[in-house]
Amino acid sequence: MVLLISYDLNGRERPAAYERVKDVIETNALAWIRPLYSQWLIETNASPGAWTTSLRGVMDANDKLLIVQVTNRSYSGYLDTAVWEWLEQRGLSPAS
């Protein structure tokens, strides 16, 4: 499955805080791509709840986190070609 992970590290806007989140994602995801600074698309077999538990372990209590399973092809945006190709490789190309 593909999950979209978005977060805001309130009060800890330091590179080390983002590095901890990055390490959890890169260590545990099957594949990943980072379309925006605080956003990842990941391929995984783990549930959004399991990812929430893992990421909350390296975040502060006032940090924000949203994890959504990407299940359909109704999306649009302006991103690098590599992001669209990554989604297409996982069967999630946009509907025409």
Q: Averaged over 18-45, what is the pLDDT?
A: 94
In the chain, the domains with their CATH numbers are 2-89 (3.30.70.240)
Residue located via tokens 């783990």 = 46
Strand ranges (E), 1-96: 2-8, 31-36, 39-43, 64-70
Q: Which residues contact 89 (CB under 8 A, 6 or more apart)?
A: none
Give pLDDT tens digits for 39-89: 999 999 999 999 999 999 998 888 899 999 998 777 778 889 999 899 989
Q: Which residues contact 66 (CB under 8 A, 6 or more apart)?
A: 4, 5, 6, 7
